[in-house]
Structure 1
Amino acid sequence: MAVMLRGATWNLRKRVPVRYGEVEPRREIWLSLHTDSRAEAEAKAPAIWRAQIEAWEARLAGASEDAERRFQAAQDLAAKRGFSWLPLKDVTRLPREELLERIEAIPAHGQVPNRQEAAAILGAVSAPEITVSRALDLYWGFTRDRVTDKSPDQLRRWRNPRIKAVRNLITLIGDKPIPAISGDDMLAFRAWWLDRIDDEGLSANSANKDLIHLGDVLKTVNKMKRLGLVLPLSDLSLKEGKARPRLPFSSAWIRDHLLAPGALDGLNDQARAIFLVMINTGARPSELAALSAQTIHLHATTPYITIEGENRQLKSANAERRIPLLGVSLEALRAFPGGFDRYRTNSATLSATVNKFLRNNDLKETDGHTMYGLRHAFEDRMLAAHIDERIRRDLMGHALGRVRYGQGGSMADVANRLAPISF
C-alpha cells in the first residue's frame, strides 16, 4: 500500500473504488496514519484501509430504503468512528466536551460534513418500526447461542411456546409496531388470559408463561436493535394458583347503568348483542361468540340457545347445555339469528373490546369488574331467587357432583323460573 509523507505525518493514499462512488464524492483519499515512522505507518495501513472499506459499506447500507438496514448501518458507522450509538435526544444531553468530540469526528469533504456519517454519529437516524411478527423473526437470529446444543425436538419445543405467545398477542391487538404497544394493550392481553382461565379451566401458570416468552422476545429485540424503548411489560403476571376473582355486577348497576338508554351505543353491533345475551344467560363470552343458526332456536315455543361442541372443544362435558332466552337477551339475538361471524373464529378480541368500552365509558361498577362479571351476576341472581341447584348448575355448565337423572326440567319451566330475575 502506498504510504506518503505529508508534513511530518505518514498518510495512506488510495483511489476510491468505483463501488463506493455513490457514497464517496472524492476520487482518491488520504488517510492519516498518525505516525512519523514509515515502518509503523506501513504496519498500520492495511487495518486503516479495512476500516475505511467497512465505513463505506456501512454508508451504502445506510443509503438503503430498508429502514432496518439503514438503522443498523448508522449504528455500525458510529461504532467505526469510536462512538456508541445514541439517539439524537440522548446525544443532545451529553456533556459539552463529548458532544463536540462527536461533531469533530464527522468526516467532511471541502468543509461539507458527510450527511450519513453526521446522522450516524449524532443519532439522527430514526429507529425502524419493527412489528411484533418481525420481532419474532429477528429474535431467532439474536438467540442462536441459546439453541446450539438442542436437538430438533428440543428446538421445536423451545420455539413453539414463543410462537404461540406472539400469535396470541397479534390475535388480540394486531401486528403492531413495537413502539405502538401501549400499557392498555398489555392489560387487555392480561384480561384476555383471565377470561381464558375462566372459560377453559387453564392455570395462571399458562398465562404467565405467555407473558414471560412474549417479554423475552420484545426485550431481546429492543436490546439487540438498540431501540431504546420503554416497554409496558411490568406487573402483568398472575398470582400462581389463584386468578383474580370475577366480581359480579349488581342488579342495580345492570339496570341503571349497563341497560340505560344509549349506554351501549358505542359498541359494535355484534359485541353489544353478545353482551346483552350474556346478561340473561350467564353463558361464557366464547360460547356466545360460537353460536350459529344451528344453535340459536328463536322459533321454538320457548326460544333458547344450545351450547355445544360445534367445530370447537367445550370446556367440559357439563358445558353442553340449553339456555332459555328472555328479555334483552332474546331481543338482541333476534337481530343475529345466524350468530356472530365477526367473533365466531376470533373470540379473543371480544372481551378486550367490551372491557375497553366499559372502562372508557365509566360503565365498570368497580375497577375490578369486567364483562365476565355478567356470568357471575346471573348465578348470584339465581341463588338469591332460590332456584334449584340442579337447574343452576345445568344453566351454568357446572358439574353437579352426583349422577344427573332426567332432563332437568323443560325449557318452559326453566324460563318461568328465570323470568323474575331477567332484564
Structure 2
Amino acid sequence: MGLTLDRGRYYFVLNVPKHLVGKVLGRNGQPIKQVRQALKTADLSVAKRKAFELEELKRAEWHLLDQGEEALAYEKYAAARQVAASRGFDYVPEKVLLQRSFEENLPRLREAAGPIGQPVSPKIVDALLGGVEVALPPLRQVLADYIESTKTKHLRKSERQRHSWRLPRERAVTHFEKAVPSLKQAGIDKITRDDALIFRDWWARRIEAGETRAETANKDFGHLSQLFREWCELKGHGDLENPFAKLRFDKAVDPLVTRPSFSRTWIETKLLAAGALDGLNPEAADALLMMVNTGLRPSEILSCPLDDFCLDADIPFLRVAANGRELKQRHTAREVPLLGVSLAAAHRVVARGGVKRYLHKANTWSSLVNKFLGNNGLKETPQHTAYSLRHYVEDALLEAGVDDRVRADILGHKYARPVYGSGGGLQMRRTALEKIAF
C-alpha cells in the first residue's frame, strides 16, 4: 500500500498482483496494473485510516477474482462472504434476496451496479447478490481455520504445549474420517446426527473388543463438539445443529479411568530400594524422586529453570511458575518445600546445571519412566504410572490429617473456600510434608 501527496491531497496507490493483471478493471472497463484513488483529505492520519479500509476492500475483491474454476466450492463461498463484508453487507443467498422487498435490496443493488462508467466485476456482483453457492469446508479444514482463529488464546503456551493441544483434535478428526470416510471431503453442514452416531458405533465396537477405553472415545466426542460449536459461532453459522453434542459414553463402562496411588510400603521397599532406579538416566531418576515427597506434576519439575530451585533458602523449595509455558490453572503457581529424597534429588539436578535433557518434555519423560517401571517390576499394578506418586502424596496427606487448605497449597489444587492470608506459607507446608516424607 502507498500514499502519495499531490497538490496538498492524499491519494491511495496499490499495485495489482502480477497474476491478476488483465482481470482487474479500471473505470473505463479496461485492465489496469495499479489502483489510484483520491482520498479527498489533506490530513495524514485520516488518509492512513481511509487507505487501510480501501486496501482491505481491494484485497478482498482480488481474492475473489483469484478463485479459479478449480477452486473448491467452500473457498469460493468464503471469498464471496469476505467481499460482501468488505462492502458493508452480509452475504445473503440469491433465493433469500428474492424474497425481500425492492427497497430492502436497493442499497445492495446500487453497490453491485457501481458508479456510472465504472463497471463492477461479475464475480463481485455475484458476491453482493448471492450468486455463489453456499458451501462450508470439510471438518479437517474447519480444524485448520479454528486453530488459526483461536491462536491468541494460546499465546502463553510453549510450542510443545500448543502441539499437545492440537494433537488430540487432529486425532479426533482423523478418527471421524476413518469411521465415516464418505464425509472426508463433505462440508460440515452435511454431517448429520446419523453420521455422528455411526462414529459413536465405531468407537463402541472398539471398546467392546477391548482395544480402547470409553474415556478415549469421550475425548474425541468432546473435541469435535467443541470444534463444531466454536467454529460455527466464529464464522456466523451458529444456526447449524451440532451433530457431535451429547455422544459421550457413560464413564461407568470404563473401569480404567481412575489412576491408582502407590502404597507407602511399595514406595519404600521397591521404588526407593538400593539400585532400583540405576537403569534410568540421572535426570529422569531425579525428577521421579522429586515427586516422592512433593506430589509435583512431572511438567512442573521439568519446566523449572535453575533459578526456581531455591535450595539455599531457610526452607528449601521449588517455585512453580509459568516459565515459558501455560500453567494448568492460575492456582497451580506455588512454592513447594523440598525435603528428604526429594531435596537430595533437587541438589543433584542443580549440580548438573538444572533440567536439560527433559526441559519442557514431560511427555517424553513420562513415556520413558513408565516403560522403565513396567520393565523392572516397579509398578504396583499394571495401572500404576509415575503420576501415581502424586496420588500417593495426596492420599498420605489426607490420612495424616493435614488441613485441606494446606493440601491444596502443596498440590496446586483449587481451594473452594474463600482464601485469606498465606495459609501458613512454607513452614506449614513443610510441617505437613514431614509427616509423610521419605
TM-score scaled by structure 1? 0.48
Q: Answer with 1 or 2: which has the greater Rg.
A: 1
TM-score scaled by structure 2? 0.47
